[in-house]
Chain A
Amino acid sequence: MSEIGEGRKPKTVKIDEGTLIDHVSAGKALKILKVLKAKEGAVILALNVPNEEIKVKDVVELRKRYLKEEEKIKVALLSPTATISTVKNHVAGPGEKIEIPNHLVDILKCPNPKCITNKEREPVKTSFTVINRKPLKIKCDYCDKIVKEEEIEKLL
């Protein structure tokens, strides 16, 4: 089976420059905007678009916005099927599928209120290790709290 979006012709999009996030799991587009703190007026959305690979998808276009590595990981955590490409002159480059790394540093907060990473002013970045990929399960490197896939969304 081929990867999602693989071997596609370059895609024409509405924004002139910026980032295209395609193949977003249906219903996750608004959450992605929130997590990326995308500004109003710089965003084009398509929701519940029929798609042959994932049946139905959301599409997010971000005008003049380019994602940092940790932002790409956040997108992948919200929607593992998402592909990310850079847009120039209304043409989207090849879609990149983001692999979730084994260690997630400073990406999401720990849900355990007693965890040292939640202590105010303590100079510590959150750190999780992936312990299972399907379904995704991660473990806090400080307090050992295990976080399941469905809980990750509210911790980003």
Chain B
Amino acid sequence: MTLKGRDIISFFDFSREEVEYLFRRADELESLRRGETLNVANGKIVAVIFFEPSTRTRLSFTMAVKRLGGDVLDFGEVQRTSVAKGETLADTIKMIDGYKVDLIVLRHPSEGASKLAAEFAEAPVINAGDGSREHPTQTLLDLYTIWREFKHIDNLNIGIMGDLKYGRTPSSLSYGLSLFSNVKIYYIAPEILQIREEVLEMVERKIRYEKIEKLQDAINELDVLYVTRIQKERLPNPEEYEKLKGLYTVTPSSLEGCKENLIVMHPLPRVTELSPEVDSTKHARYFQQAVNGMVIRAALIKEILGLEG
């Protein structure tokens, strides 16, 4: 199996075999978790081009490259660059690609931006988020966190909670889980923030699902609880937000009756939907999830660049 030279535009570009292969390769990079740096990417330069702010993803990619021993060419803040002067994405990409970078990591507000970039760049392109559409490495790290915990994803019951309608994570995670067998998803949200029909249409023949309003109705069934944030601006009025905020907050007491080995995940940053008291329970995995993001990205970059060792 080889991913050498591949563009990663959509999570749908991966097969189940490729995803599991990447998980195994990521597990081999255990030393990165201890803060070690490998020298497998010496002399390799990865361009990190972020057209919108996303500190976490940017840091995660940057650390992944540096831990492999490679170097990062960071495009900097958009407002200070030529883009502020009105340069097209195609021109920006052609210019950077002309430097013969080894890989381009791109985040852009327009949907389909990475596909366009890949058409203009000789170097492979990783989509690090394009608008509200895709963020394939986020899905990869979410699935990796689950796989690392259970050593499989088949047959698990996954609860996804919060703003399922407007958030990108719930739909991407659903698509990702649909690669596996006999997964059941509990979509836990108030009716106005429930998962979109188009997402269900895409996954309904591959997974089982149930839409519920209360976490308590499924807590004893869940292997994974994936919490996402409810954003104030998505709701019709502030009173509604205050009401829902309370109902959709996970605390140690809302986990009562859960399975022994339940894990709680969150893409971070969190606000009030996940209480800090959960951090000290044996269920919390969200900070490991962030570390897993760096490791799986390192594994992916290593494969795309065809690095040995």
Chain A interface residues (CB < 8 Å from chain B): 112, 114-117, 119, 121-124, 140-146
Contacts and interface: CB of A to CB of B under 8 A. Distances in A.
23 contacts: A114-B110, A114-B131, A114-B132, A115-B112, A116-B110, A116-B115, A116-B116, A116-B130, A117-B112, A119-B88, A122-B88, A122-B89, A122-B116, A123-B90, A124-B90, A140-B112, A142-B115, A142-B116, A143-B111, A143-B112, A143-B131, A144-B112, A146-B198
B112 to A, nearest CB: 3
Nearest to B108: A116
Contact of B110 (A115, A121, A123, A146): A115
A60 to B, nearest CB: 35
Contacts, number: 49
Contacts of A143: 111-112, 131, 133
B276 interface: no
B109 interface: yes
Contact of B115 (A114, A123, A141): A141
B215 to A, nearest CB: 31
Contact of A119 (B110, B119, B132, B198): B110
A141 B115 CA distance: 9
A111 to B, nearest CB: 12
Contacts of A140: 112
A119 B89 contact: yes
Nearest to A140: B112
Interface in B124-139: 130-133
Given A124-B116, A144-B133, A146-B198, A114 B88 contact: no
B133 A116 contact: no
Ordered nearest first, which 5 A-B pairs have the shortest CB separation?
A142-B112, A143-B111, A116-B112, A116-B110, A143-B112
Contact of A116 (B86, B113, B198): B113
Interface string B221-245: 0000000000000000000000000
Nearest to A124: B116
Interface string B98-114: 00000000001111110
Contact of B88 (A123, A141, A142): A123
